[in-house]
Amino acid sequence: MVELKTDPSIDAMYEAGQVVARALTAVREAADVGVSLLELDEVAHDVLREAGASSPFLGYRPSFAPTPFPAVICASVNDAIVHGVPTGRRLRDGDLVSIDCGAALNGWVGDSAISFVVGRARPQDVRLVETAERALAAGIAAAVVGNRVGDIAHAVGTVCRGAGYGIMDDFGGHGVGRRMHEDPAIPNEGRPGRGLPLRHGMVIAIEPMLIAGGGDDYHVAPDGWTLCTNDGSRAAHTEHTVAVTDNGPRVLTQRG
Ligand code: MG
Ligand code: MG
């Protein structure tokens, strides 16, 4: 069931989204060659603590997971697509990093992700990250009253496929509210004009997950969480929490 949010609730969700935005900005600034993923997790955790927010990631255990998630960010490096568990691994020059973060503030959740390269970037990685950002922007632009969920999915998928990339399509966007994962599902590929009509008050996470090699296949790493490309190629992941409103899409996790 899709729960429509009132305007005051959307304002409250914006506050939660801004905590996530600040956490991702802080992580991005801290990420450098030699910095560990656990150190990045601590940077994000500090931002949440200072804001009085809790983490919907920490202790999260969906049906597919073998263990409760142990961190406040997912840190997925190179061939890891999403759900990377932060470890003591230290970042190396040219690593492609995707950071996913959530925050819960006053009972409302924000959810957002960024990809970036540490140190000197390979041109192909820059192109992958820029395409992930373009796919997200296209999805957001389609998140308007009068469109349907399939229009968002089609917009995202068209950018990814048009650039020759694969799409990790068993996971994707979702409704967001008092819980991190609500209805409806927002796939990263789909047919325009299909699916649920978008209405004022729907709040959704849109999150393209791109695979550089062009295939869609992935596997679960031995930690039971991290999803990695089967072909060993690199992946990128971007995400915003977006409110559909009569005045157009409002990006609740927009970074300053
Ligand atoms: Mg997320
Ligand atoms: Mg999400």
Q: What CATH number should be reported for the domain holding residue 66?
A: 3.90.230.10
In three-state form (DSSP H/G/I as H, E/B as E, the rest C), the secondary structure along the chain is CCCCCCHHHHHHHHHHHHHHHHHHHHHHHHCCCCCEHHHHHHHHHHHHHHHCCECCCCCCCCCCCCCCCCCCEEEEECCEEECCCCCCCECCCCCEEEEEEEEEECCEEEEEEEEEECCCCCHHHHHHHHHHHHHHHHHHHCCCECEEHHHHHHHHHHHHHHCCCEECCCCCEEECCCCCCEEEEECCCCCCCCCCECCCCCEEEECCEEECCCCCCEEECCCCCCEEECCCCCEEECEEEEECCCCCCEECCCCC
- Report pLDDT for 250: 98
Within a domain: residue 1? no
Judged against a pLDDT cut of 90, whether residue 64 lies above it is answered with no
- Which of the ligands is closest to the CA of residue 181? 2
* pLDDT given for residue 213 in this prediction: 98
Cα–ligand 1 centroid distance for 56 (angstroms): 10
> Could you tell me if residue 150 is inside a domain?
yes
Q: Tell how far the Cα of 92 is from the centroid of ligand 1, in angstroms.
A: 24
Residues lining ligand 1 (ion), CB within 5 A? 100, 111, 113, 239
Higher pLDDT, 8 or 64: 8
Identify the domain containing residue 64 by its residue range. 7-250
pLDDT of residue 189: 97
pLDDT tens string 139-165: 999 999 999 999 999 999 999 999 999
The answer to whether position 58 is within a domain reads: yes
pLDDT attached to residue 191: 97
- What span, in angstroms and rounded, lies between the C-alpha atoms of 240 and 224? 25
Which amino acid appears at position 142 of this protein? A
The CA-CA-CA angle for residues 162, 186, 205, to 5°, reads: 100
Number of domains in the chain: 1
Instruction: Determine the distance separating the centroid of ligand 1 and the alpha carbon of 33, expressed in angstroms.
Output: 24
- For ligand 2, the distance from its centroid to the CA atom of residue 39, given in whole angstroms, is 22
Q: Calculate the average pLDDT of the chain.
A: 97
2 assigned to some structural domain: no
Dist. CA 112 → ligand 1 center (Å)? 5
Report yes or no on 139 lying in a domain.
yes
- pLDDT tens-place string over residues 183-195: 999 999 999 999 9
| pLDDT value at 83 more than 90 | yes
CA 185 to ligand 1 center in whole angstroms = 13
Asked if the structure places residue 255 within a domain, the reply is: no
Ligand 2 midpoint to CA 112 (Å): 7
Predicted confidence at residue 106, as pLDDT, reads 98
Cα(101) to centroid(ligand 1), Å: 6
Q: Minimum-distance ligand to the CA of 55?
A: 1
Tell me, in angstroms, the distance from the centre of ligand 2 to residue 20's CA: 12
Judge whether 49 lies within some domain: yes
Shortest-distance ligand to the CA of residue 185: 2
Residue 169 has pLDDT above 90, yes or no: no
